Amino acid sequence: MLISGGGTGGHIYPALAIANRWMEMYPDTEILFVGALGKMEMQKIPEAGYKIIGLPVAGLQRSLTPDNLSFPIKLWKSLMQAKKIIKDFKPDVVIGVGGYASGPVLFMAQRKGIPSLLQEQNSYAGLTNKILGKKAMKICVAYPEMEKFFPIEKISYTGNPVRADILHLEGKKEKALEHFGLSPDLKTILILGGSLGARTLNRAMLKDIKALNKEYQVLWQSGRFYFKKMLEATQDKDYEHIHLREFIREMDLAYAAADVVVSRAGALSVSELSLVGKPVIFIPSPNVAEDHQTKNALAYVSNGAAVLLKDSEAEGKLKLKVDELLNDESRMTELGTNIRKMAKPNAADDICNEIYRLVG
């Protein structure tokens, strides 16, 4: 099996979830990943115990930049390398999870007639997957109504595969509070901006930090890009109920501790939160292709399963939205119930079953 794609955690972690579940089902399989040189998959995939080869491919910038001049050269080199990888590895099936590297690999595999499957995480399909979807044999999606992007007969509504530990949060709250040093007497707000961080969420936190510290406790993942600055802004202040972290590895415990979650609306985050079943305030990033985070969030908001706070309004309104939820128990219950209805807990199994049908 050849698995290609990456660039962000939203592509990488579903790919690993598929690989891990497949190996549990069929342990005699050989799996090779193909990613983009310099992207996070080149570190994360080997850490998970899999081999990966990097391609020089990069994205085409939407504005006129010098980087675009080298795009055709990198693409050509990547296509030739992908052709050689396929020739040497001889995969029975190729899986594309989105991201730069999936384009050349899936394109060359499809030219050779090798069965291919796409896994589209978002509610708005990316350009690469829309092109590859024409010749893919199966397309696994995380949202309904994706026939506007792909041939309906190829679509399987599986959901996004997520890490297994968040499927079982029952009975973990006491352990979670102890692990993070949280009080059982205060409501807990979990702030998530992704592993790199989200500037708007961090600035919104700083804006309302005094009021939040006075009434609640906050488990705050600032992300790698912003941690030092956030630490400097808070370390000399008396914010005893603000628990700042660069990155949270024990996400099952973080979710178990939370009463309300404030998060970006990346595909993986949305899928995880639907399984967690807690009230969520989505603050979608406006700085992504096709504004797909807003589309992800609206798919839940329209079903009464989440609250939307626009990125442009987050500073100064974060505590207001939190207050509205934490002071309305029936609303919190309703949101938690509705978001859980949209969960797909068996996504990894369902995708692996679709792969099996391709290769028999």
Neighbours of 352 (CB within 10 A): 23
195 a known binding residue?
yes
Q: Which helix (H) or strand (E) holds 273?
A: helix 267-276
8 a known binding residue?
yes
298-317 burial string, b = 16+ CB within 10 Å, else e?
bbbbeeebbbbbebeebeeb
Q: 228 near 255, Cβ under 8 Å?
A: no
Amino acid at 80: M
128 a known binding residue?
no
271 a known binding residue?
yes
268 a known binding residue?
yes
Q: Look at residues 296, 271, 278, 272 and name the one whose alpha carbon lies nearest to residue 286.
A: 296
Those residues whose C-beta lies under 8 Å from the C-beta of residue 105, and which sit 6 or more positions away, are 2, 4, 34, 55, 82, 85, 86, 94, 96
340 a known binding residue?
no
Q: 79 near 104, Cβ under 8 Å?
A: yes
Q: 267 near 294, Cβ under 8 Å?
A: no
122 a known binding residue?
yes
Q: What is the DSSP string of 295-351?
A: HHHHHHHTTTS-EE--GGG-TTTHHHHHHHHHT-HHHHHHHHHHHHHT--TTHHHHH
163 a known binding residue?
yes
270 a known binding residue?
yes
248 a known binding residue?
yes
Q: How far apart are alpha carbons 91 and 140 in whole angstroms?
A: 20
9 a known binding residue?
yes
Instruction: Please enumerate, by residue number, every residue annotated as part of a binding site.
Output: 8-10, 122, 163, 195, 248, 267-272, 293
Instruction: Please enumerate, by residue number, every residue annotated as part of a binding site for UDP-N-acetyl-alpha-D-glucosamine.
Output: 8-10, 122, 163, 195, 248, 267-272, 293
